[in-house]
Amino acid sequence: MAATVATRLVNDNETPPLTPNPTSVVEVSDAVIISPAAEPPAVAITPSDPWPRPYYVEDGLRRVVPYHYTYNTWCKERWRGRKLMEIFEVEFRDRPAEYYRNAVETGLVVVNGKAVGPEHVLKNGDLISHTTHRHEPPVTAEPIRVIHEDNDLIVINKPSGVPVHPAGRYNYNSVVEIIKSERGPGFLPRPCNRLDRLTSGIMFLAKSQHAAERLVAQISQRSVRKEYIARVVGRFPDGEVVCDQPILQISPKLTLNRVRANGKAARTVFKRLAYYPPVDPPTKGQTEQPAMPDPEQAAQRRGEGEGYSIVRCLPVTGRTHQIRVHLQFLGHPIQNDPIYANQKVWGFDLGRNDADAARNSDEDIISRLSRMGKEDIADAVAYYDEMVDNYHRKKAEKMSGQLCDVCRTPLYTDPGEQELSLWLHSLRYEDADGAWSYVSPLPAWALPPSGMTGPTEVGGMDDLVSAVDASST
C-alpha cells in the first residue's frame, strides 16, 4: 500500500497501479520515486509546480484544485537529539499523531530523502520532507485591482482574506501567486509593504529587486505617510484623537499585543469620518427587518446597541497590530475584530484603559485566548495562523461528511464571510514631500448603510498630520 500511495504522487491524472514499481529509483517528469524492491516503504518526493495554476471560481470564492506537495524543513536546533515522532506530536499539531505515524511508516515523511522509522533520532543537517495531498482554503474571488503601474512598480488594492505570501495552509491562494498566474511564470512580484491576511487595501509590488530595495528604504525611513480606515464599536470622539500608549507583545507565539506601560513607544492619530447609530427595532405593526448576513450578526454581538463609527487612522510608529490595540485601549475596538473585540478574552471593558494590567493580567489573557481556540472557537474567531487552522477545522469550515478520494482527508464546507475579512483597510500611502500619493476607494463596509447618508470618500491628511505635529511639541 505504501508504494501504491507513493506512485500515485507522480501524476494526479493517472490511476495508481496495484503493485509497486520494483525499480530502485524512477524519475517521472516532476517527481522522483525511490522504491527499493527489498526495502519498503516507497519514498515520494514531489516538487509540485503546476502551470497554469489550478484555480477555479465557484460561489464567489477562488479555489485551488487539490494537488500533491512536498514540504521540506531543516532540522531546527531544538529538534536535535529528539525522535521524529516526538517532533510531530509536539510541534505539528494540525493533524492527529496517528496520521504522522502512518505517514512516516508509509514513506510520506522521510529524512534526507530516505525512509526512516518513527523512532529515528534527528541530528544537525537533517532535511525532513513530508509529501501530502494539499487542500488550500478558498479565498475571495474579488479581483486584485491595479491602482497604478509603471516600469518599476505595481500599486494594488489587496482584497481582504488573501495572504500576501505563501504561508501555512495558503500557497497558490496568495497575492504573490495570483499576480504571478496573471502575468506569467517568469514574473516575480516583490511585496514592499506588509498587510495581514484579513486586512485589505494599498500594497506595493516591485518589478525588480532594485525597485523593491528603493521603496522599502523609503518606507523604513519614515518619509512615507500611511492612512488606514477602520469600522469601530460605538461613537468615536470628535476631533483628532492622539493615542501614544506603549505597546507590549505579551505572547510572541500568538503575536498577541496590548497596551502596557513597559511596552515599546507607539503613536496613532485618529479622526472620526462618520458615525452611524443603531437601527431602531421595528415597533408593533411594522414589518420585521430581514435577517442580517453573517458578518453583520457577528459584529452586532460586539457593541450591540452602540452603533458604529468609521475612523481614519494615521500610525506614526509601526508596531504590530498597533491600530487594533490602540483602538481597543480607547474603548472603540474594530467591530468585527475576532481577538481585540472579544469580551470572553478581554473582559467586559475589552482592555480599555488597562495599561497596568490591573483588571486582566497577561497570563489571564493568553490563557483565555488559548482556551477559546480549543474549546469555544465559535466565539473566538482566531486571527493567528496557528489558531486559524484550528478554527477552520472546528467551526468555520464545518465537516461535510465527505472524504477526499485521493488522500481520505475529511473535507470541509466553505468559511463564511466573517472569516474572510477584518474591517481595517489600508487607504492611502503618500510621500511626505508630496512627490506621489496613492489612494484606494472606500471599502463597502465603510460606506453609508442603506437608508442613511454619509461620506463616500476621504479628504486630505492635513488635519491628521497637524495633530501629529502638535502632539510632538
DSSP state of 376: -
Asked if residues 322 and 247 have their Cβ atoms less than 8 Å apart, the reply is yes
Please, are residues 323 and 427 in contact by the beta-carbon 8 Å criterion?
no
Q: Which of 452, 426, 198 is nearest to 308 (CA)?
A: 452
**36 phi/psi in degrees, rounded to 5:** -60, 125
User: Hey, which residues does 71 pair with through a beta bridge?
Assistant: 130
Give the pairing of strands 200-206 and 424-431: parallel
Query: Looking up cell 452586532, which residue turns up?
Result: 300
Q: How many CB atoms lie within 10 A of CB 347?
A: 16
Give yes or no: 244 in active site.
Answer: no
Closest Cα to residue 154, out of 134, 180, 117? 180
Given 59, 94, 126, 196, which residue is catalytic? 196
- Residues 364 and 357: their CA atoms lie apart, in Å, by 10
**18: helix, strand or coil:** coil
Those residues with Cβ within 8 angstroms of residue 238's Cβ, 6 or more apart along the chain or in another chain: 272
**Residue 181, Cβ density class (10 Å: 0-12 exposed, 13-18 middle, ≥19 buried):** middle
Helix (H) or strand (E) holding 300: helix 294-300
Give me the active site residues, please.
196
